[in-house]
Structures are given as structure tokens and as C-alpha cells.
Amino acid sequence: MIEVRDKEVLLSTKSTSYLLSYSKANYLTCEYYGSRLSSFEEAKPLVSDLIINQGTELNIDDKNLNLSLNQMKLELSTLGRGDFFSPSLIIKNSRSMIFDFKVDKVEVVKPIIHNILPMPRDPSEELVICLADNDMHVVVELHYILYSESDIICRYIKVINQDSQPLHILKAMSMQLGLVNHNSTLVSYYGNWANELNVQQTKITHGRIVNESLTGSSSNRHNPFFIVKEDNCNAINGNCYGYNLIYSSNFEESVEMDSFSKIRVQVGINSTLFDKSLLQGESFVTPCALLSYSSNGYNKLSKEFQTFINNHIVKKKFNFESRPIAYNSWESCYYKYNKRKIKSLIRKASKLKMELFVLDDGWFANRNDDAHGLGDWEVNRRKLPGGLKSLANYAIKKKMKFGIWMEPEMVNENSRLYKNHPTWIIQDGIHTPIKGRNQYVLDLTKKEVQDFVFDSVSKVIESADISYVKWDYNRNISDMPNSGTFFYDYICGLYSVLNRIVDKYPYILFENCASGGNRFDLGMLSFFQQSWISDNTDSFKRGEIQKGARLGYPLSVMSNHVSGKTSNQLLRYTSLDSKFNVACFGILGYELNLCDLKPVDIKCIKKQILFYKKHRDVFQLGVSSFIGRDDNSYSIQAQHNGKIIAAKYYTHTIPNPKEYHLRLLDTEKNCDYSFYSRIQNRDFARFGSLINMVSPIHIKEDGALIHFISNRFTMDGEYIHGIISGKILENSGIALPMLWSGTGISNSMSIIHDFDSRLYVFEKC
Ligand code: GLA
């Protein structure tokens, strides 16, 4: 709801309110952002009218000696008029670099949709506040968009040059927000390849903390999602604010505390090297920033972002559609395969009731390593006689869909494309362009390159019965030409190609990938329904990465695979069930070598797939929350339509572990829940020489006999079940089976090895 009255505007979402004011000399400020207010009057005690300039502050208004911009919670700030925070807008023309913006017009409009940059779909209301500097003939529109049933506000700005002199935009943040300082902490991500989305907490102290990317993508180093939380805020209690940017290139987000301990938050395009020039009549629209507030801790905030992404970012056709269980050839084959091998993998995957076969890298040109073939998107007939068509038909005959990997934005030097079009790569024309993973990035700012990418993807999609495309992007950008908007133009070029492709092929399921999570953001998710968030499929590390991702993104956009027991990334050995219990929270897939499976593994995977299919709605559409940490474990849950699935992930085992209880969050207090544990296999070989305590003959710990037995036979692990009321489940939780303690064994005991885990299902009766 948007209410406008004299010099004030109140934006109200489901449970938050945002109060704007321009009562102080027409400068636009945010006087309050927090729990929902019932009226303007309720805001009165929250707003301090008194401003007395402190120390060396400057007065902006002669009539009001107490008015300093530095003291105000400005929604837009510039340089040179007494505000000494880092400005949210830096612009200049040949006449001046000082701009002084005041409110000129306030309008509630029918929501406006631009089509250069992605925007959330299905808005309900929009407020536009025009700020003008009439001496400089520049107008800045501040847009605030609301969505029914959501606590997210979307913001962007539009800069319009009405002056005859060209205007240079050097920095244009999509949003700025002043916060009352209650001792706060910034929660943001850091990472790198196979190690994405680590959550870090930084105490906000005096100075400016910047969360940004300069790689040409949103990057695996940081991510545009972040939280500012008050220090006493935890998963379920306390105040916090979440932010994200719908943009896939260099972003810049800062939290600044000035020497008066006031806090300002900014979110937008990275200003490093940014210089956009506007002629008279031209305008520039920034990407959309999202913000939300929760008074109930960061789980509630995550829930808002997760729900919003499903309802307003992911394309409507796919947002609630169940996603297939994939088999992906990468970790089992890399580049080394032929038609026979792929067909036998299709047969095995189909027998295990997987639903989509994805042929990863290696199927085109002379692509037998990463130094060849990118750009030449024609099937390698020596490897795959019959082409993609015959493989796709074979998969379909075996009741699976068929999908393909592509990396359309790239080219290898060893390719026909590079030989024919060496000028299509990103280069400055002076330095020898540098390579990453033996490849160059095609310059998508050029229309002919955009057309080439569009045509090559179209040809591949149309060459066979393809229903899925994994779109990869495996290096960062370097050697940019001398342009103040190169990164912005690149991503607009990409968005324009993606728009054309998803419009032409609305039925294709696209998976976004960039060496895993090097471009995992809301811009890409506006086109591609799901993302491969990391190349790391080790169960423990992957669990941490998914835990980080869930803070700001829903399960429906994360695809996760069960890979071989020994992790290719870390060489850590964990069971297939450990891997499944992590991978199932999101879109499940497999990429281990199905031809090498032992009989017990086949049984185990069959059980996993049955379980996943039964609960797919919760795993893919559930709202997921972090429950808590306990000694050597942590637990999470996903909840959908009255069903909750919880996971308990152990790290290392400890002697004489204590009694564990599993408590859930957000249960329906007046309902009963029936619950049960997922039964997992016990592997005889992992009892070591202790097996001799029960064996009539001596069995060597690592001998052929124990391997013979453990490859073929297994024993069901513990099973618990029962009924419990929602209230008790939340307050006290269910008692979990006793963990292995080294002094005895029983069937109802949990035999936990390092990095093992368990799943529990709770259904409303
Ligand atoms: C990237 C992806 C992997 C795989 C390879 C293929 O690294 O993240 O999943 O597709 O490329 O080259």
C-alpha cells in the first residue's frame, strides 16, 4: 500500500513500513524502515524533529541554520553540499560537478517494466519520486515497487539529462538507505572456485565496508546478497535487513558508518571505471535493488527472499514446476567418452529412474580437453556418430529427457571461430589478451557477436530433441576496451541474447553455471530457472555452500549432484547417503560413474530416488531454514504445505556423544505431526576389525572377504517413528537415537561416521 500526504509517503508491505519524508527543505529522507505501522501518526514518536548541527557540519539552508545534509537519512546523496558520506550519485557536466536534488514531484503510477535489465515480475504498486536540480537541468527518478503478499521492496533510479551539455554518470547506486545504528553486523559472502558462498560476519565500525565484484560477473568471490543485522539478532529473533541486486556483472554494495555513528547502506553497479554519458534527453536506468526487513531474525528474512524469488524472479512457467532428477556426465567422463559409453550411462540412469540425461562438456568439435573447440558448436562425429539426435532419441526411448552443456560466450584460440573472427574477443587493441582456462570471452557488446551466440544456441537446440541446456561461463573478464560502460554493456548484451533465446524456446529448462557459482545471482535467475551453485560435490563442503546459499536464495534454484564417494575436489571419502542427504535439498542430480556401481550402491540410489520423488515438492519448493548447531552437528529444515523434512548433518564423530533432540521451527502448534526417519544402509566394511566380534570366522579389516560382503549385502540402519504435537515438536523436539559410543551395538542405534547425516520427515496428521 502506498499512502501519500503532505510531504510524506508511507509504503506498507505485508509486515513492514517505509516512511519517506521531504519536509526538510524538500530533501528526500527515509525516516523509518521497520515493522508495519498502522498510520502516519504511529510514526510520530519514531521521528526526531530536532537537528542541531554538530561540530564542523555545514548548513544547506540559510533559513534553517540547523539543516545539514550529513545529518539526514538521504535517499539520494551527492557531493559538494555538505554530505560527507560516500555519495550514491556522482555526476558531472562541463559546467559543474555539484548537484543539489530536491523533491519536485511525487506520483503513484501503474508499475513500469523496462526491458534492458531484468526486473521482478507481477508488481502491484509503484511510487515514483522525481528529484530535480533545476539549475543543472537534471532529474533523478527514485522508483519504489511493491508486491502483494511480500515484504520485499524493489528500488532503482533513473537519471535524465535535460541539459544541452552531456552529462557523465560516474556512480549511480540503485538504492541508498540510512539506518538507525543499533550496533550492527554485516553478514556477507566470500569464496572462490569450489568454495563459494562462505558466510562471514563483519562488525560494522567507523568507516566504509564494501562488498563488490570486479570480475565482470557477480563472481564467486562475493555475492550481491547481504544482510545488516543488529548484534542481538539470530536465526529467529531480532532485527535485520536484507539486500540483493538483480544484476550479473560488477556490483558495489557498501555499509558506511560515519564519525557520528550513522549508518548508510548502498546497493548498485560498481562505480570503478564506470562512466556513462547522456546527451540531452537521454536517460539511464540502474538495475533493481531488493530490500527487506525482518523483526524475527534472519530465517524470516531468508523466507521472504526465497518466496519472492519463486514468485517474482523465476519465470512463471517454471516457478512451481517440478524439476527432473538429472544424470550429468561431467565427473564420470570429463572429456573422455564415446557413443557406447554415453548410451550405457543412459541405460543405467534410466534403470535407476532418473529423468534427464545431461551430456556435459566434450561433445563438439575437437573438444578432448579445455584448450580446444569452444565456439565451434558442431557435434564431434568421431566421438558421437549419429550426433546429438540419436543420443537424444535413445534417452527418450529409455524414458528420459535429454539435455546438453554449452558455453556460448567463450572461444578457444584453437577453433574455427577464432580463426575466422579474431576480433570478436574482448581486447583493448594494445595488450595481448590473456587467457583463462585456455579461452577468451566473446565481446557481447557487439551485435554480430550477440547474433552468433543466438544462432549457435538455436542450432544446437533444434538439432535434436533437447529439453535442457546447461549454460556455462568459465572465466572472468580481462583486457576490456576503453569504455566507461564496458561491463554494463556486456551484461546488457548477454541479457538481450538470453531474452531472445528464452522467448524462442520457452519450454527449455536452462541451468545457469559459471564454473559452479561464479555468476549465481538474480539477474541470471530471471532467465534461467536453476543454477549449478558450485563444482564442489563433497558432501560436507557442499552442505556448507548450500547452507550459505539458502540465506538469500530458494531451494528451487539450486541444483545439487550426488557424485562418487571420493570427492574429486577434496579427495574426502563419504557415503552415498551422506551425499544424497545434502543434494536432495534442491534439485537432485547424480554425476558418479553409474557403470562402476556395486550392487549395494544401486539399491541405495534406487531408494534415494524413490524417497526424493515422494517428497520432491518439499525439497524443491519448500522454504528452508537453519535450525541450529550442536557440538559436532547442525540441522536444517525445509517446509512445504504442512510437511517438514529436517536434516541433521554431523561433522566429525566424538566419544560418548550426548543425547540429541531435534526441534523444528515454524510448526503449526495446534496440529499433530506423524514422523519417521529415512532408513539408511549400514556398511559392514566400515566396522573395521570389530566385525570379528560377531563373525564366526576371522575377517581381515581390509581383506577381499569383507569387500565381497559389503559390496553385495547391507543391513538397514535405525528407524524411528511416532506422532508429536506441533507445539512440543517446536519446544522440546523428538529424541534422536543414541549415537555409536564404542561400547556396544543395537539395531536402534545411529552408526555415524565422519560427515554422515540423517533425514526426518514430519507430516501434519
Ligand atoms: C565447469 C562446470 C562443470 C562442467 C565443466 C565442463 O567447470 O562448472 O560443471 O560443466 O565446466 O567443462
Domain boundaries along the sequence of the chain: 2-313, 326-617, 628-764
Taking the CA of residue 360 as reference, the ligand 1 atom at the shortest distance is 10
- List the residue whose alpha carbon is closest to atom 6 of ligand 1: 361
Residue 326 CB less than 6 A away from ligand 1: no
Return mean pLDDT, the chain. Answer: 96
Residues with catalytic annotation? 472, 535
| 503: CB partners within 8 A, 6+ apart | none
Is the CB–ligand 1 distance for residue 535 below 6 Å?
yes
Residue 514 CA: nearest ligand 1 atom is 8
Q: Which helix (H) or strand (E) holds 467?
A: none
Q: Which of 192, 217, 328, 330 to mutate to test the pocket of ligand 1 (most atoms within 8 A of CB)?
A: 330
DSSP 198-263: EEEEEE--SEEEEEE--SSSS-SS--S-EEEEETT--SSSB-EEEEEES-SS-EEEEEEE-TT--E
Q: How far is the CA of 472 from the centre of ligand 1 (A)?
A: 7
Q: Any idea which architecture 2-313 has in CATH?
A: Distorted Sandwich (2.70)
Does residue 50 register a pLDDT over 70? Answer: no
Residue nearest to atom 9 of ligand 1 (CA): 535
Q: Please report, as a single letter, which amino acid is at residue 137.
A: H
Give φ, ψ of 270 to 5 degrees. Answer: -65, 130
> Is the Cβ–Cβ distance between 648 and 680 less than 8 Å?
no
Residue 516 Cβ inside 6 Å of ligand 1? The answer reads yes
- Cα-to-centroid distance, 361 and ligand 1 (Å): 7
pLDDT value, residue 51: 66
Q: What are the start-end ranges of the E strands in 75-183?
A: 89-92, 102-109, 125-133, 138-146, 152-161, 167-179
Model confidence, pTM: 0.97
How far apart CA 301 and CA 350 sit, in angstroms, is 40
Say whether 127 sits in a helix, a strand or coil. Answer: strand
pLDDT surpasses 70 at 65:
no
Task: Cell 519517506: give the residue.
Answer: 20
Domain 326-617: CATH architecture, name and number where available: Alpha-Beta Barrel (3.20)
Query: What is the band of 63 on the pLDDT scale with cuts at 50, 70, 90?
Result: confident
- Reported as a pLDDT band with limits 50, 70 and 90, residue 92 is very high
Compute the distance between CA of residue 84 and CA of residue 100 in angstroms, rounded to an integer: 14
Q: Which of 557, 696, 540, 695 is nearest to 620 (CA)?
A: 557
Strand partners, 601: none
For the chain, first and last CA: distance in Å?
37
Question: Does the beta carbon of 133 sit less than 6 angstroms from any atom of ligand 1?
Answer: no
To 10 degrees, the CA torsion angle through 468, 474, 477, 478? -150
User: Residue length, the chain?
Assistant: 765
Express as a percent the part of the chain with pLDDT over 70. Answer: 99
What is the Rg, in whole angstroms, of the alpha carbon atoms belonging to the chain?
Answer: 28
- Closest atom of ligand 1 to 405 CA is 10
Q: Is 360 in the pocket of ligand 1 (CB under 6 A)?
A: yes
Atom of ligand 1 nearest to the CA of 513: 8
Cell reading at 618:
518439499
Q: Please state the atom number of ligand 1 nearest to the C-alpha of residue 370.
A: 12
Q: Taking residues 118-139, what's their average pLDDT?
A: 98
* Cα–Cα distance, 69 to 76 (Å, whole number): 11
Protein residue closest via CA to atom 2 of ligand 1? 515
Measured on CA atoms in the order 63, 69, 71, 74, is the torsion positive or negative?
Answer: positive
Q: What pLDDT is recorded for position 60? A: 87
> SS3 of 680, please?
coil
Task: Please tell me which of 279-288, 709-718, 742-751 the model is most confident about, judged by mean pLDDT.
Answer: 279-288
CATH superfamily, domain 628-764, is Golgi alpha-mannosidase II (2.60.40.1180)
CA 515 to centroid of ligand 1, rounded, Å: 5
**Separation of CA 463 and ligand 1 centre (Å):** 22
Per-residue pLDDT band at 123 (split at 50, 70, 90): very high
- At residue 55, the pLDDT reads 85
Whether residue 115 is predicted with pLDDT greater than 90 in this model: the reply is no
